[in-house]
Amino acid sequence: MNEREFLVAVGEAAQDAVWKTEHPLTLHLSDDDPRREQYLREYQQAVGRQVLAAIETLSPRMAS
């Protein structure tokens, strides 16, 4: 698993666990539109980055 795939996996897990939202651009696309999967993965990757950044920010505080 490369870094991009890891970010997508973290974002997907966070999205499923915390909020059931889709990337706003996917809302108007049909389920079989190839852009839907691309946009969703990009969104999940961004969410993954945010989750990991939040964890990194909290980690020093949790260690003390």
Tell me, what's the pLDDT at 35? 86
Closest by CA position to 51, among listed 28, 26, 17: 17
Residues of the chain with pLDDT below 50 are: none
With 0-12 / 13-18 / 19 or more C-beta atoms within 10 angstroms meaning exposed / middle / buried, residue 14 is middle
Tell me, what's the pLDDT at 23? 62
- Total-model pTM: 0.61
Tell me, what's the pLDDT at 19? 65
Q: Which domain holds residue 56?
A: 3-63
Transcribe 5-35 into DSSP letters: HHHHHHHHHHHHHH-----GGGTTS-TT-HH
Tell me, what's the pLDDT at 42? 86
- Number of structural domains in the chain: 1
